[in-house]
Structure formats: structure tokens, C-alpha cells
């Protein structure tokens, strides 16, 4: 089958003779989004994904093989969560399934023609969808955003600032807009500001952000100085969400004055819980046209490496690869 294989740092090889996964449940991939984690892995490596391997986890597709009794038949369309927690431990109880020590996950990457799924995963991790639509590649990243929003502290008079107008920042904006929350995105790149403004999302330069105006701040860029800066800039009793992961040891020096005397909270979120995935799927179903705006490019799998280059240069928001 076709596959885009991550063979080394900053190297992807397109193959047409990659082995089809040996599993009882197979999904033919119809589209897979390129995620920030895929890009980070490609550029700098990742402890979990050692080359050679196939990346990609934001996908939907068609069931082409299934055992009886799972509730699916060949030809059914599905979207698949990358992992879920055990559902029984203390972490899962608080919807922190991304930290569960007893997770189930999909063993194969989706920058490929076919993904194999263990039948035991299907009941909780695979969801039926009505139509073949690239918008379903956004369910997984949106689930991560929903996890992030649960860590904010949004009240009716809240004003939310999103730092960084990359794909995740814009996804935060689209979700909060759908919920009627007042928000602003700050982004230095003019091309991105124009794109964001064209979606009807308020957008400004970082230098235009007023001090102490925003009581919820999402830092959707992985730079520690932004965390330091926005803990200072957040309104009294505000919340700052560290959404972009930083390297171990890259610790922001945050103002204890802001945290104690102004009651600013600094919090973070990582990955998703399966409850967030279900919520994201319902949200995408109800707002397809709005979320679809995030997908700026659709490329054949064989041009996959180009997608990584474009994302590196911030020339695109979401890119969907199609085998
Ligand atoms: Zn992702
Ligand atoms: Zn658990």
C-alpha cells in the first residue's frame, strides 16, 4: 500500500509497497490532517515515534474489513480517536485520559492508505460518520482544544486572548466563537492575520494587546517567554493556559506577584480525553462550514513532505493528506 514513511529527522519517503497492517479491522484512509506533533517529530524527533515509522493520527475513512459483531460493515464511514484511557482510574474519572497509565491506542500511522485497528479498540475508539468530509480530520485537534478550554475559567463577561494564530490558535477561536465568547487572536504574521480576519475572527498584532484586559489567555505557541509575558498581561483573577508544549528544562520564570497578589492562575492541558473527542465530533457535525475554514490545503500523500515544509514556513493552517 501507499505510505509516507518518516525515515529520519527531516526526511519523509513515499512508498507504494508498504505492508498492509495485519489486523482484523481495517480502515481505508480518506484524509489525514498534519498535526503540530507530526511537524515537531519531523523537525526535532519525538521519544514515542522513532524512525522508521508512519506518523499521522487525525484521520477518517471507510471500513474495508471487519469481524462480525462490532457493529460495522464494509463501506461504513468512520472517524477514529488516536487513544483512550481505561475509563476506571482516578485520572480517567477527571477526564484526564491523556495521562492514564492504562491507555488503548491505534498502533498504526494514518499517513498511509490503510490503518489497522485492534478489534478491542473499536467499541470505544471508532465513531460512525454520515459523509466523507475532510472536516472530520479536525475532530482530534478540536478534542485537544476542548480539553484546553475546560482548563480555562470562562464567565459571561470573560474576554479571551489567544496568543498565536496557527492552526490550534484558530481552532480555539472557532470553538469559542461558536460558543459566543468574546475573543481576540494576536499573531505577528500579516498573512495569517489576514486569513484569520477573513474568517470573521478579531485579530491584532501582539504589540496591540492591552494589559490586563483579558481574563483568559491561551498560549498556543511553544515559547516560554510568551508564558512569562502573558502571566503579567493577564487580568486580575485571570487564567493562563500553557497549550504549546515546551521542552523539559525550558521553564518559564513567572511572576509570583501576579499569581499571588493578582490571583492569576497558570495551568496547562495535554492531548485529549475520549469524552472530549465525543464532544468535538458533535461540535464538528453541528458547525461543519465554520470549522472547514481551517483546512487551507489538501495534498496527495506523495506530496506529503511538501506539507511539512509549508507548515514550517507558516504558509498554511491545516493541511489534509489524501492517499
Ligand atoms: Zn493531532
Ligand atoms: Zn485510566
Is 249 exposed, middle or buried (CB count within 10 Å of its CB: 0-12, 13-18, 19+)? exposed
Q: Point out the ligand nearest to the CA of residue 272.
A: 1
Q: Which ligand is nearest to the CA of 147?
A: 1
pLDDT at 62: 98
Strands 318-322 vs 295-300: parallel, antiparallel or unpaired? parallel
| Distance (Å) from CA 252 to ligand 2 centroid | 30
Å from CA of 285 to ligand 1 middle? 18
CB 321 within 8 A of CB 56: yes
Q: At what angle do helices 304-312 and 36-44 cross, to 10 degrees?
A: 90
Ligand 2 centroid from CA 86, angstroms: 4
Write the pLDDT tens digit of every residue in 34-66: 998 999 999 999 988 999 999 999 999 999 999
Phi, psi torsion values for 220, nearest 5 degrees: -100, 35
- Quick one: DSSP state of residue 71? S
pLDDT in tens, 177-194: 999 999 999 999 998 999
For residue 247, name the pLDDT band (cuts at 50, 70, 90). Answer: confident
Query: Are the C-beta atoms of residues 140 and 89 closer than 8 Å to each other?
Result: no
- pLDDT band at 314; cut points 50, 70, 90: confident
Does residue 313 register a pLDDT over 90? no
Closest ligand to residue 95's CA: 2
- Maximum alpha-carbon separation in the chain: 62
User: Ligand 1: distance of its center to the CA of 208 in Å?
Assistant: 30
Task: Identify the three-state secondary structure at position 298.
Answer: strand
| Domains along the sequence of the chain with CATH | 3-140+271-322 (3.90.180.10), 152-268 (3.40.50.720)
Distance CA 84, CA 102 (A): 9
Question: Which ligand is closest to the CA of 91, given by its number?
Answer: 2
275 CA distance to ligand 2 middle (Å): 12
**pLDDT for 22-31, tens place per residue?**
999 999 999 9
Beta strands 239-242 and 265-268, pairing class: parallel
Residue 297 DSSP SS3: strand
- What average pLDDT does range 158-174 have in this prediction? 97
Q: Are 187 and 281 in contact (CB under 8 A)?
A: no
Q: How far is the CA of 139 from the centre of ligand 2 (A)?
A: 21
Q: How many Å apart are CA 183 and CA 170, to the nearest integer? A: 11
Cα angle, residue 3 at apex, residues 274 and 120 outer, rounded to 5°? 35
Q: How far is the CA of 211 from the centre of ligand 1 (A)?
A: 32
Whole-number mean pLDDT of the chain? 96
The alpha carbon of 98 and the centre of ligand 2 are apart by a number of angstroms equal to 9
Are 140 and 277 in contact, with CB atoms under 8 Å apart?
yes
Residue 310 CA to residue 275 CA, distance in Å, equals 32
- For residues 80 and 139, is the Cβ–Cβ distance under 8 A? no
**What is the per-residue pLDDT across 253-301, written as a single tens digit (0 to 9) for each?**
999 999 999 999 999 999 999 999 999 999 999 999 999 999 999 999 9
Please, where are the H alpha helices in 2-52? 36-44
- Bridge partners for 4 per DSSP: 14
The answer for 78, left when phi > 0, alpha when psi is -120 to 50, beta otherwise, is beta
pLDDT at position 315 over 90: no
259's grid cell: 499569581
Q: What percent of the chain has pLDDT over 70?
A: 100
pLDDT at 227 over 90: yes
Residue 146 Cα to ligand 1 midpoint, Å, equals 13
Core vs surface per residue 27-47: b (16+ CB within 10 A) or e = bbbbbbbbbbbbbebbeeebe
Instruction: Tell how far the Cα of 97 is from the centroid of ligand 1, in angstroms.
Output: 15
Ligand nearest to the CA of 167: 1
The number of C-alpha atoms within 13 Å of 227 and in the hemisphere containing its C-beta is 21
Whether residue 163 has pLDDT greater than 90: yes
Distance of alpha carbon 144 from its chain centroid, rounded? 5
One DSSP character per residue, 75-128 reads T-EEEE-SEE--SSSHHHHTT-GGG-SS-EE--S-SSBSEEEE-HHHHHHHEEE
Tell me if 277 sits within 8 A of 81, measured CB to CB: yes
What is the model's pLDDT at position 231? 98
Amino acid at each position: 500500500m501507499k505510505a509516507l514513511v518518516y525515515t529520519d529527522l527531516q526526511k519523509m519517503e513515499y512508498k507504494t509497497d508498504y505492508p498492509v497492517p495485519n489486523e482484523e479491522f481495517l480502515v481505508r484512509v480518506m484524509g489525514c490532517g498534519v498535526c503540530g506533533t507530526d511537524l515537531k517529530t519531523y523537525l526535532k524527533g519525538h521519544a514515542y515515534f522513532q524512525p522508521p515509522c508512519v506518523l499521522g493520527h487525525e484521520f477518517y475513512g471507510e471500513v474495508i474489513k471487519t469481524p462480525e459483531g462490532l457493529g460495522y460493515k464494509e463501506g461504513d464511514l468512520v472517524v477514529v480517536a488516536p487513544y483512550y484511557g481505561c475509563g476506571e482510574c482516578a485520572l480517567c474519572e477527571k477526564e484526564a485520559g491523556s495521562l492514564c497509565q492504562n491507555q488503548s491506542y491505534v498502533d498504526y500511522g494514518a499517513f498511509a492508505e490503510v490503518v489497522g485497528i485492534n478489534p478491542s479498540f473499536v467499541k470505544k475508539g471508532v465513531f460512525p460518520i454520515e459523509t466523507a468530509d475532510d472536516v472530520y480530520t479536525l475532530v482530534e485537534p478540536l478534542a485537544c482544544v476542548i480539553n484546553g478550554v475546560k482548563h480555562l475559567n470562562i464567565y459571561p463577561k470573560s474576554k479571551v486572548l489567544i496568543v498565536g494564530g496557527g492552526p490550534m490558535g484558530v481552532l480555539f477561536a472557532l470553538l469559542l466563537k461558536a460558543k459566543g465568547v468574546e475573543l481576540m487572536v494576536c499573531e505577528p504574521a500579516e498573512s495569517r492575520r489576514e486569513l484569520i480576519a477573513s474568517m470573521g475572527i478579531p485579530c491584532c498584532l501582539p504589540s496591540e494587546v492591552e494589559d490586563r484586559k483579558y481574563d483568559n489567555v491561551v498560549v498556543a505557541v511553544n515559547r516560554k517567554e510568551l508564558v512569562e509575558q502573558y502571566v503579567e498581561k493577564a487580568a486580575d483573577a485571570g487564567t493562563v493556559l500553557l497549550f504549546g508544549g515546551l521542552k523539559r528544562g525550558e521553564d518559564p520564570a513567572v511572576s509570583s506577584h501576579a499569581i499571588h497578589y493578582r490571583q492569576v492562575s497558570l495551568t496547562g492541558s495535554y492531548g485529549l480525553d475520549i469524552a472530549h473527542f465525543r464532544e468535538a465530533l458533535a461540535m464538528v457535525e453541528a458547525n461543519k462550514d465554520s470549522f472547514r475554514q481551517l483546512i487551507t490545503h489538501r495534498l496527495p500523500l506523495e506530496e506529503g513532505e511538501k506539507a511539512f515544509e509549508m507548515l514550517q514556513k507558516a504558509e498554511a493552517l491545516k493541511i489534509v493528506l489524501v492517499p
